């Protein structure tokens, strides 16, 4: 697994969270903080950015930044697991049920 530098991380985060939209100024600082705290792990950057894609309030971004900051660990696998768990926690009930149903279909 290769790691991204800060500029690459920020670029990936911005593209994944905003899909080419202009970034409002007030989001840039918190967005860069979130991207930096992913320590160059592309999967965690994309997952967190996807979580924020529909959020258009800085408070939402700050809340997620606080959540991901608590994932401090030196183990990249553990960081990935925690970010995926955060993403799952933010799913709607309907999406969780769809995921469970799809998993059940795969196991059959």
Cα separation, 87 vs 68, in Å, equals: 11
Q: What is the pTM of this model?
A: 0.68
Range of the domain at 47: 6-107
Nearest residue to 49 (alpha-carbon basis) of 78, 103, 81, 90 = 90
Q: Record the tokens describing residue 1, joined without a space.
A: 């697994």
Q: Is the pLDDT of residue 72 over 80?
A: no
Position 54 in a domain: yes
Q: Record the tokens describing residue 104, joined without a space.
A: 């059940």
Position 92 in a domain: yes
Q: Record the tokens describing residue 68, joined without a space.
A: 């991901």
Please write the tens of the pLDDT for every residue from 8-62.
988 998 999 988 778 778 888 888 888 888 777 888 888 888 888 888 888 988 8
Q: Is the pLDDT of residue 66 over 80?
A: yes
Position 1 in a domain: no
Number of domains in the chain: 1
């Amino acid at each position: 697994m290769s790691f991204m530098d800060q500029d690459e991380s920020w670029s990936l985060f911005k593209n994944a969270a905003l899909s080419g939209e202009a970034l409002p100024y007030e989001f840039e600082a918190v967005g860069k903080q979130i991207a930096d705290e992913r320590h160059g792990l592309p999967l965690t950057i994309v997952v967190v950015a996807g979580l924020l894609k529909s959020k258009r309030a800085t408070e939402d971004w700050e809340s997620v930044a606080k959540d991901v900051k608590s994932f401090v660990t030196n183990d990249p696998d553990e960081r990935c697991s925690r970010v995926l768990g955060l993403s799952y926690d933010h799913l709607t009930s309907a999406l969780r049920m769809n995921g469970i149903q799809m998993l059940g279909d795969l196991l059959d």
